Amino acid sequence: MAFSTAFTQAPSAAGARQAARASSKVQAFAPINAGSRKVASAKQSPAFAGQNVSAAGIASLRKAGASRAVVQTVCAIRDGATLDRPLRVAVIGGGPSGACAAETLAKGGCETFLIERKMDNCKPCGGAIPLCMVEEFDLPMEIIDRKVTKMKMISPSNREVDVGKTLSEREWIGMCRREVFDDFLRKRAKQNGAKVVNGLMMKLETSENGQGPIKVYYNDYAEGSKVGVPKTMEVDVVIGADGANSRVAKDIDAGEYDYAIAFQERIRIPDDKMKYYENLAEMYVGDDVSPDFYGWVFPKYDHVAVGTGTVVNKTAIKQYQQATRDRAKVKTEGGKIIRVEAHPIPEHPRPRRVKGRVALVGDAAGYVTKCSGEGIYFAAKSGRMAAEAIVEGSQNGKKMVGESDLRVYLDKWDRKYWATYKVLDILQKVFYRSNPAREAFVELCEDSYVQKMTFDSYLYKTVVPGNPLDDFKLLVRTVSSLVRANALRSAATNSVDVTFGSKANEDRVATA
């Protein structure tokens, strides 16, 4: 929002003294202490479109016996209006979505603030990134811990299927640690002009007509302080990139969504066992490790990440984690847990992702795919797309944007990725509903055509057209596998129940 300042005559000398005090060093439209009584001088702030009056000028008026009171009025700016200063954007959250949004905005001519509380954030995340992301987001190799070229899909009965035989020598899945990955993206945003604020956003305050400034209330933790200092800043646009528990989403009444709990332990294992996971990742399926997701063992720099997640039975997440450790016990024996992490993961996009001059991206918008649980690429991509829409709509920060400009991002996103989310949602409902269905899923993963289509779609984030004949054969195999799965499900009433973390479960794993 732009401000204009009107100067009106006041009949008293007290007004002159008040005007002199008004020539404060605090700039309008910049972070200020909450509750401060100071106002900015028109000369100091580029946001003012009115007259420029310096402190010396006010003092001369006092000497002349004249008295002037400075009255600041906030003027709303309509969408598309030309600004006399750069468009001002606050990005709340410094993960992949927020950092990529901030970088794009700053490079595009917008004055950008990136507010993040946890600068050393270690989100419980598998940390897998597709090959296309490395080039698309210009990622250096030093932030990638491992290049995974082999995967094992492990069924409820511990049948192992090797996945990755269709990959070429130049194709791989990157594995990263989120604290390293996110830190790199934030630093790059700062290098491109974004102002990084170590702060925690508390709430937003918008005008009734949606055309006034957006006031951001936050606690500032500058210089490593453990106690935040309440501050505010006023901006034109806000991008909410503050995760599944987004406060921005709550403030714009974005609607609720179901979410999963992800639980992960980082385990440092002996060198000989780490050698086994050098370029290998494992995915475990079964109602022992999760009733609606999967367990994983992903290699990192000097340890493995072992985790799982669930939507339908969140209170049992530690039991599912124990079962995942049991399933991988032989290969991680002798390991030491060096970190434990847990975090909510969204299950579907929010009902509302744009309102006025506020947009949601990443986990805050609900951009995590079902079945695979992938979120890093889609977080970074959504942040960049939202920022690109703002830069384009504002003509590189020169004009005011509105909801219609932000919806350009939303429309592009839905056209590009709606089918991906829908297909993975269906796959999860079909194959994660029972152990027999999971057995059928792992069986299908052994097919070379399935592997090629899956990896091509994942690595390059494009819908790969299949061969009609092979597609038909795959359909027949899928149907037959599901029929067999249903038959097995009917006969499963006599099967042995899994007891989480029990001796029986450990014995089953050891002899499988």
Q: Report the length, in residues, of the chain.
A: 512
**How far apart, in whole angstroms, are the C-alpha atoms of residue 357 and residue 420?**
27
pLDDT number for residue 125: 82
| Nearest alpha-carbon partner for 255 in 361, 344, 366 | 366
H or E segment to which residue 264 belongs: strand 259-268
**How far apart, in whole angstroms, are the C-alpha atoms of residue 374 and residue 367?**
9
Which pLDDT band, with edges at 50, 70 and 90, does 349 fall under?
very high
pLDDT number for residue 118: 85
pLDDT digits (tens, 9 = 90+) for 381-406: 999 999 999 999 999 999 999 999 99
3-state secondary structure of 226: coil
Task: Average the pLDDT over 283-312 and give the result.
Answer: 96
Alpha helices in 91-246 (DSSP H): 96-107, 131-136, 178-191
Q: Considering only residues 481 and 300, tell me which one the structure prediction assigns the higher pLDDT.
A: 300
Task: Average the pLDDT over 210-228 and give the result.
Answer: 88
Q: Which two tokens stand for residue 304?
A: 């493995």
Cβ atoms 366, 257 nearer than 8 A: yes
pLDDT at position 42 over 70: no
**How far apart, in whole angstroms, are the C-alpha atoms of residue 172 and residue 184?**
21
Task: Average the pLDDT over 92-105 and give the result.
Answer: 98
Q: For residue 354, give the amino acid letter.
A: V
Q: Which two tokens stand for residue 88?
A: 């001002």
**How far apart, in whole angstroms, are the C-alpha atoms of residue 345 and residue 348?**
9
Q: For residue 443, give the amino acid letter.
A: E
Q: Considering only residues 494 and 71, tell me which one the structure prediction assigns the higher pLDDT.
A: 494
**How far apart, in whole angstroms, are the C-alpha atoms of residue 78 and residue 206?**
15
Which pLDDT band, with edges at 50, 70 and 90, does 56 fall under?
very low
Task: Average the pLDDT over 422-445 and give the result.
Answer: 91
pLDDT digits (tens, 9 = 90+) for 136-165: 999 999 999 999 999 999 999 999 999 999
pLDDT number for residue 329: 95
How many CA atoms does the CB half-sphere of 287 hold within 13 Å? 15
First to last CA, the chain: 65
pLDDT at position 258 over 90: no
pLDDT at position 122 over 90: no
Question: Any idea what DSSP says for residue 177?
Answer: -
pLDDT above 90 covers what percent of the chain? 65
How many CA atoms does the CB half-sphere of 509 hold within 13 Å? 26
pLDDT at position 213 over 70: yes
| Nearest alpha-carbon partner for 83 in 236, 239, 193, 238 | 236
Task: Average the pLDDT over 276-298 and give the result.
Answer: 97
pLDDT number for residue 467: 78
Cβ atoms 248, 360 nearer than 8 A: yes
Cβ atoms 179, 99 nearer than 8 A: no
Q: What is the CA radius of gyration of the chain?
A: 27
pLDDT number for residue 489: 60
Task: Average the pLDDT over 122-132 and give the result.
Answer: 86
pLDDT above 70 covers what percent of the chain? 79
**How far apart, in whole angstroms, are the C-alpha atoms of residue 401 and residue 92?**
18
**How far apart, in whole angstroms, are the C-alpha atoms of residue 498 and residue 504?**
8
pLDDT at position 340 over 80: yes
Report the chain's mean pLDDT, rounded to a whole number. 83
Range from 106-115, 120-129, 268-277, 290-299 carrying the lowest mean pLDDT: 120-129
**How far apart, in whole angstroms, are the C-alpha atoms of residue 36 and residue 376?**
40
pLDDT number for residue 119: 85
Which pLDDT band, with edges at 50, 70 and 90, does 239 fall under?
very high
pLDDT number for residue 267: 97
For 379-398, give one letter per residue: b (16+ CB within 10 A) or e.
Answer: bbbbbbbbbbbbbebbeebe
Hey, CA dihedral for 440, 445, 447, 449, is it positive or negative? Answer: positive
Task: Average the pLDDT over 278-305 and give the result.
Answer: 96
Taking the C-alpha atoms of 177, 182, 183 and 188 in order, what is their torsion angle to the nearest 10 degrees? 130
Cβ atoms 32, 232 nearer than 8 A: yes
Task: Average the pLDDT over 303-309 and give the result.
Answer: 96
Q: Which two tokens stand for residue 27?
A: 């700039």
pLDDT number for residue 488: 62
Q: What does pTM read for this prediction?
A: 0.81
pLDDT at position 483 over 80: no
Range from 3-12, 182-191, 477-486 carrying the lowest mean pLDDT: 3-12
pLDDT number for residue 1: 40
